[in-house]
Amino acid sequence: MATTAERPAAALEQASTAARRRRRRRAARHRQLVALAFMSPWIIGFCAFYVYPMISSLYFSFTKYDILSQPKWVGLANYRFMFTSDPLFWVAIRNTLWIIAIMVPLQVLFGIVTATVLTRIKRGLPFYRTVFFLPTMVPLVAAALGFIYILNPAGPVNRVLGVLHLPEPLWFVDPRWTKPGLTLIGLWGIGQVMIIFLASLLDVPRQLYEAAELEGARPWQQFRYVTLPMISPVIFFSVLIGMIQGFQYFTQAFVVSKAGDRTNEVGYPQDSLLFYTSRLYQQGFEGFHMGYAAAMSWVMFVVIMACTVVLIRSSRRWVHYQGGFR
């Protein structure tokens, strides 16, 4: 603007630039205030529900605290107990790892398979997509209750298995079969992952397949060297989200455990459904060991951060970003 304006006398120019600068600075300050006013709900929420709780949770983790009496400083005792003496902490870790290492990859795989099936359907795609997505909408509590009934030892699934002369597991009663049972619920609710993969699969340029075909690539090779690299960012995303959600795995396990158990214990049968968050809930909100629960939540936070960093580091080797986008 200044370059196109005609040049007035030198003194006048100086005065006007100073005035302009002042005006501009005032405008900037005004803009800053307006922006902060718009941001204010989040700023209050961030301080009240994130910053303060994070700090006080760290403090609680070094104390013995049951809400009723004042927190008592115990140093590292909670952490020491967690890693060396709490028999159920490592059980919870092992069960949670089962979810992250077995169920989440199975979900991703099943998501890719169902999405691939959909890409090959020419007629009736909206119908199939609706059907595959529908279970995702079912509230977790309702889904868990439904599966408790469907998988009960005399339930419909076992009746079908019996007719086919296949073994009939006791599912949610037998500690060895509880997590596979939960995996079935997880696979049933695959819709979101599937939709994301479907979009990503349809985004793969057709020319790449044509080129691969000209080179004589077989279908499996096309999948391995064209499809897989092209959808790897989505695989990365769903593994990352799956990992974070794996640590939070709670609702389905809680509903299943409590429905099966008469002593009303989290993790029934035989602690096979005791997950990290279940243990945290049990310690903090059934036993009111708030200090120990706070320590568990901080360990969870640190572990999730570490896993995220590791996953992002490793992604540089196996995730292919088109156009070099990072």
Partner 1 sequence: MSATTAAGAAARARRPVPPEIRRRRLLLSVANHSVAIALSIAFLLPFLFILATSLMTNQQALSPNIWPHPFVWSNYKTVFESFPFVRYTLNTVTYAGLATVGVLLSCVPVAYALSRLQWRGRQAAFILVLSTLMLPPQVTIVPLYVIFVRLGWIGSLKPLIIPLFFGDAFTIFLLRQFFMTIPQELSDAARVDGASELQILLRVIVPLAKPALAAVALFQFLYSWNDFFSPLLYAGNNPDSWTLAVALQQFTTLSRGVLWNLQMAASLLFMLPVIVIFFFAQKVFVEGVTLTGVKG
Site residues (CB under 8 A) for partner 1, limited to 273-292: 277, 280-281, 284-285, 290
| CB neighbours of residue 220 within 10 Å | 8
By CB under 8 A, name the one of 18, 141, 161, 310 that touches partner 1.
141
Alpha-carbon distance of 320 to 232, in angstroms, equals 6
Residue number, 13 or 203, with CB nearest to partner 1: 203
The residues in 203-222 that bind partner 1, with binding defined as CB under 8 A, are none
* DSSP-assigned beta bridge partners for residue 64: 72
- By beta-carbon proximity to partner 1, the closer residue of 50 and 318 is 50
1 binds partner 1 (CB under 8 A): no
- # residues contacting partner 1 (CB under 8 A): 89
Q: Which of 159, 176, 218, 320 binds partner 1 (CB under 8 A)?
A: 159
Does 233 sit behind a cis peptide bond, omega within 30 degrees of 0 on the bond before it? no
CB atoms within 10 A of CB 226: 18
Binding residues among 256-275 for partner 1 as defined by CB under 8 A: 258-259, 261, 264
Residue 282 makes CB contacts below 8 A (sequence gap 6+) with 266, 267, 274
Place of tokens 């398979």: 113
Which span (85-93, 94-102, 204-212, 294-302) binds partner 1, by CB under 8 A?
294-302
First to last CA, the chain: 37
Q: Which of 91, 93, 109, 135 binds partner 1 (CB under 8 A)?
A: 135
In the numeric block, the tokens 């799956």 are attached to 242
Per CB under 8 A, contacts with partner 1 among 51-80 are 52-54, 56-57, 60, 67
DSSP conformation class of 317: H
DSSP single-letter state for residue 171: G
* CA torsion, ordered 150, 156, 159, 164, to nearest 10 deg: -100
- Residue selected from 138, 204, 208, 307 as contacting partner 1 according to rule CB under 8 A: 138
Enumerate residues 88-117 that contact partner 1 by CB under 8 A: 114, 117
Which stretch in 73-81, 84-92, 230-238, 311-319 sits in contact with partner 1 by CB under 8 A? 230-238
Determine, following the binding rule CB under 8 A, whether residue 251 of this chain makes contact with partner 1. yes
